């Protein structure tokens, strides 16, 4: 009979787990899962990395969970990010993924506001209550590249310079978006993602005044997914192939190429999600749960499906709400 353990309980299977995930993702040798997804696979998170082991003590599957706190104004909501989902090739089609996935969802769903994962297997995850949500606007700069910036990695900066980046992040996002809180440990984990490239600009006093993050793993090559000001996106250092993933449409200097979805989401604890919904809509809307649907009290007796409510919650195209932002270094 298969058993579910954590990497904290079975650290001897850590390297095997990494290689399983890399094979499942088809990662080239130059991309390392333990670097690209350091916040998920760091030792401090091993109690949330679940492995399935068969009777012969062989690794069958892995599913990782990273608990993050989403800030919306002055409120904070716990969120479960899911990643590193993999099943050994010869063990597929036997229900192992379903059993592991359902067990982990059940373990966390009363404690988190919602679950969020990233996958193109929409049909598969819909069976477990996950739905496409949100928008990401892919754009390219169409103007003159008239600024210059430096290119490095966060870990190569001094502690003082790293603090400047943290302050710029706070100024850019904390008053404008629903975003994932970054405490000391979160920033330390992000700094360890050395596949992420840092671009930054300085003023005449040699102070860092802007920054952007580009690249990470296979899926974010030549993508800028976090920045402090639009000026950094007009730099000569970006390269002609660079695209920008933005939570909102950019100004006239940028051409929107296409609109992607943010991720796949599932409601967790109902009380927490109802509070999150009201907070996202700046306390203007109240969500009431029905048996298998929802009502918005301010909109009368019309009933909404779970999918419709999730789409409404995460859409940044709707007015009078907090836009939701998830950086590429926060995703797993």
Residue 204 structure tokens: 């005449």
9: pLDDT confidence band, cut at 50, 70 and 90? very high
Distance between CA atoms of residues 257 and 74, nearest Å: 34
What pLDDT, on a 0 to 100 scale, did the predictor assign at position 36? 95
CATH superfamily placement of domain 3-112: Gcn5-related N-acetyltransferase (GNAT) (3.40.630.30)
| pTM for the whole structure | 0.95
Q: What value does the mean pLDDT take over residues 149-164? A: 95
What pLDDT, on a 0 to 100 scale, did the predictor assign at position 93? 85
Sequence-separated (6 or more) residues with CB below 8 Å from residue 153: 194, 196, 197, 198
Distance between CA atoms of residues 233 and 138, nearest Å: 13
Residue 145 has pLDDT above 80, yes or no: no
**Is the Cβ–Cβ distance between 52 and 2 less than 8 Å?**
yes
134: left (phi over 0), alpha (psi -120 to 50) or beta: left
Whether 136-260 and 3-112 are alike in CATH topology: the answer is yes
Distance between CA atoms of residues 245 and 13, nearest Å: 36
The string of pLDDT tens digits covering residues 188-225 is 999 999 999 999 999 999 999 999 999 998 889 999 99
**Is the Cβ–Cβ distance between 304 and 295 less than 8 Å?**
yes
The string of pLDDT tens digits covering residues 217-247 is 888 999 999 999 998 998 877 777 899 999 9
**Percent of the chain residues past pLDDT 90, beyond the cut:** 85
The CATH number given to 136-260 is: 3.40.630
Question: Which position has the higher pLDDT, 230 or 291?
Answer: 230
Task: Give 293's DSSP letter.
Answer: S
215: left (phi over 0), alpha (psi -120 to 50) or beta: left
What sign does the CA torsion over 196, 201, 207, 211 have?
Answer: negative
Residue 106 has pLDDT above 90, yes or no: yes
- Of 118, 112, 113, the closest CA to residue 136 belongs to 118
299: pLDDT confidence band, cut at 50, 70 and 90? very high
Instruction: Show me where the domains of the chain are located.
Output: 3-112, 136-260, 265-314
């Amino acid at each position: 009979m298969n058993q579910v353990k954590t990497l904290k309980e079975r650290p001897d299977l850590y390297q095997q787990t990494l290689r399983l995930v890399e094979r499942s993702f088809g990662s080239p040798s130059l991309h390392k899962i333990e670097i690209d997804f350091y916040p998920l696979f760091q030792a401090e998170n091993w109690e949330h990395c679940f492995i399935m082991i068969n009777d012969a003590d062989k690794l069958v599957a892995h599913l990782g969970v990273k608990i993050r706190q989403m800030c919306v104004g002055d409120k904070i909501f716990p969120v479960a990010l899911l990643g590193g989902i993999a099943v050994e090739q010869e063990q597929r089609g036997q229900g192992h993924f379903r059993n592991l996935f359902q067990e982990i969802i059940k373990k966390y769903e009363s404690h988190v506001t919602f679950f969020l994962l990233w996958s193109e297997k929409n049909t598969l995850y819909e069976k477990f209550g996950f739905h496409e949500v949100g928008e990401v606007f892919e754009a390219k700069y169409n103007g003159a590249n008239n600024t210059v910036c430096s290119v490095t990695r966060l870990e190569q900066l001094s502690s003082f310079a790293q603090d400047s980046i943290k302050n710029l992040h706070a100024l850019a996002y904390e008053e404008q978006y629903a975003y994932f809180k970054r405490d000391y440990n979160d920033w330390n984990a992000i700094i360890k993602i050395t596949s992420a490239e840092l671009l930054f600009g300085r003023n005449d006093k040699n102070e860092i005044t802007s920054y952007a993050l580009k690249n990470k793993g296979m899926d974010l090559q030549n993508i800028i997914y976090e920045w402090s000001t639009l000026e950094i996106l007009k730099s000569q250092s970006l390269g002609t192939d660079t695209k920008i993933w933005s939570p909102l449409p950019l100004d006239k200097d940028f051409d929107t190429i296409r609109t992607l979805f943010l991720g796949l989401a599932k409601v967790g604890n109902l009380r927490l999600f109802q509070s999150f919904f009201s907070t996202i809509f700046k306390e203007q809307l109240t969500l009431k749960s029905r048996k298998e649907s929802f009502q918005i009290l301010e909109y009368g007796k019309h009933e909404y499906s779970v999918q419709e409510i999730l789409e409404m919650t995460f859409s940044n195209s709707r007015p009078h709400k907090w836009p939701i932002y998830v950086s590429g270094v926060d995703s797993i």
